[in-house]
Amino acid sequence: MTPPVTPDQIRSHTLRNDAVQVTLLSLGCAVQRWQVAGTDVTLGYADPAEYIRNAPYLGVIVGRVANRISNARFTLDGETYLLPANLPPHCLHGGSPGFSHRLWELEPVSQTEARFTLVSEDGDQGFPGTARAEVRITLDGYALRYDMRVATDRPTPINLAQHLYFNLMGTGSVMDHSLQVAAAQYLPVDGTNTPTGEILPVDGTRYDYRTTRSLTDADPQRIGCDASVVLDSGAGPAATLSAPNGMGLRLWTDRPTLQIYTTPWLSPQGAALPGQTHEPMTAICLEAQDHADAMTHGFPSVLHGPETPYRQLTTIEIAPRG
């Protein structure tokens, strides 16, 4: 059983250059604070100890398996594995505690790079096999690059995702942000927000961001979005986001889907960074990952073993647009 984390165990390292400062935590491999030209562009907690609870998964790496696994179980090679139903009746973000709430080993490589490692033992949260995870986070100009790798000693599902909450204005609602996503299809969900197994066109839905539109235009009733879109192939950014203050975000990834979450259920859980409020629609998450609930449906496999290690490359650039 994983022992509880205490505040004195949490380490931090700040990446910095002339324009950008990013504070990282060993707990959850979290981005606590990301500032561009003095503006906070992600939500965070003022006190690192708040990340011990962190119910909204602010800024962390989620895993072993991001998103939902329906009915908190899956079958592999004829054996059924039971997982924690931490979002009843489903397993969310790898169980409790998943990678998001674990202490990682933090190695400050340089002023612009940090390396995190974590060992998840066989049977952790019900998953088979030992998984050895490594995340390198590198600051390059205005861009933050995630290089995430997992080596396993037997076949097991792996699907990591960064869970940053973006607000390019630094505070207030994000419904005036404009989003473009290179995705013509999405994964419909049931009443518990779990994929049905279908893949449908985004045409006529509030998930259609093939051309740039404001979040308000896409969702005038403010229902909120928490859905996976299937990314088109291509060399350009998978997503772009812009705010009225001229700040812009571009995201590149080698993952096939992007979870778009406009935080309709966000609520205050702890003391926020100065000037921030953690309320519905005050951030947007853009979570690059593999197909959600792939172990249940006929989606591309998320199984990785000794001969097929996991790797994800995702780069997020946030910069003033001149």
- List of residues 6+ apart from 38 with CB closer than 8 A: none
Beta bridge partners of 214: 178
Burial letters for 242-251: b for 16+ Cβ neighbours within 10 Å, e otherwise? Answer: bbeeebbbbb
Measure the CA–CA gap between 110 and 63, rounded to whole angstroms: 26
- 163 catalytic residue (yes or no): yes
- 198 catalytic residue (yes or no): no
**Nearest in space to 256 (alpha carbons), one of 228, 276, 279, 236:** 228
Measure the CA–CA gap between 172 and 281, rounded to whole angstroms: 8
Kindly state the tokens that stand for 36: 């561009």
Query: Which member of 163, 177, 278, 304 is catalytic?
Result: 163
Measure the CA–CA gap between 179 and 167, rounded to whole angstroms: 12
Query: Which member of 93, 287, 291, 304 is catalytic?
Result: 287
Half-sphere exposure of 30 (CA within 13 A, CB side): 32
| Residue numbers annotated as active site | 163, 287
